[in-house]
Amino acid sequence: TIHSQISFPFLFLSRRKKVYFQNTMHRSIFFVITALLVLTYNTFTGSAQGTIGVNYGKIADNLPPPDKVIALLKSKNIARIRIFEPYPDVLQALQGSGLQVIVGSLNSDLPQIGSDPAFAAKWVQTNVAPFASTVSFRCISLGNELIPSELAQTILPAMQGLQRALIAANLSIPVTTTVHQAVLSASYPPSAGTLSPGAANFLVPIAQFLKANNYPLLFNAYTYFPYRDNQKDIRIDYALNNATEVVVRDGNLGYTNLLDASVDAFYYALEKGGVSNLEVIVSETGWPSAGGDAPATIINAQTYNQNMINRMKNNVGTPKSPAKGLETYIFALFDENLKASGTEQHFGLFYPTMEP
């Protein structure tokens, strides 16, 4: 099925007899790696500079220094990044780079940011103010995938507290939070999208705050995990954003890929909570290249990420919201060797050597 849907010439090697394949295995691997290097290099070139976003995680002990990372990003026409906390060395390297940055906070900081104005002011003065004139902050995300959790109740007070601290520092930077697909109790078809009761209690007031301030909401949306867990009902090309025809029909809307369906289900769920036309940013999406699960292959990862990059370059929206392109950040920039073993270590677009 995968071979019939992806037209890479080197895949024909795997259709030869087993004996021939075994005799030429090393040469085949070389051809695959060489082809992928070329494809990945071409992935980031083009005239649409400024549209491609990536997540820059640092849970590894073998990554290049931030100044080399920022140079790599610029050389590949990647102009938007998301970092998970205000790493001082990364913020230093970002100064004057022109890259647009989503910066996160430590989850453990949220209670104090929301309850202690002095702590919130110090957070801004330490992590934002020194860089505000030389770094382009897209927004600040308070909490990563904390809904539902015990810290969910601290998110809105933290957003309000940080907003006040930013205003007091004469800084105009949106504040937000990051949620994931677990906030949905239903997502198929997209129009059935509904927030789970445990999520709605926290997320609806947050969405109302964001809407009132014209701030975006960050949504982590993966197609890999639903496909991995339900290959019987989900087509591989639908999960890889590779289908050429409508796969799911939902009223007047047609869906050719699972990412669109997931994001629109989230839009519908927010509307049912009373919040419409809220800007949603896909803050994480990606596909692992290894790690033990059968769909986690270099070919699938390259296909998914290439399709996402093409989409970003073309500024494509979703069927429910076609007029506005979907701002998206691929997860992740590097493989990270200190994450949990398995696919979690293999979402990188690049190896720590900075090779594709």
Annotated catalytic sites, by residue? 145, 284
Handedness of CA 34, 38, 41, 44 (dihedral sign): negative
Buried/exposed code over 312-350 (b: 16+ C-beta within 10 A; e: otherwise):
bbeeeebbbbeeebbbbbbbbbbbbeebeeebebbbbbb
Hey, what are 164's tokens?
A: 């006040």
> CA geometry: angle at 150 spanning 145 and 155, to 5°?
60
Nearest to 76 by CA among 343, 298, 334, 325: 334
First to last CA, the chain: 26
Placement of tokens 């949106």 in the chain: 174
> CA geometry: angle at 70 spanning 309 and 179, to 5°?
55
d(CA 336, CA 343): 10
Q: Is the peptide bond before 332 cis (omega within 30 degrees of 0)?
A: yes
d(CA 344, CA 332): 10
Residue 328 one-letter amino acid: T
d(CA 167, CA 115): 17
- Do 316 and 325 touch, CB atoms closer than 8 A? yes
Helices within the chain (DSSP H only): 2-5, 18-23, 25-43, 66-75, 88-94, 110-115, 117-127, 155-168, 197-213, 224-229, 236-239, 258-272, 298-314
d(CA 8, CA 200): 44
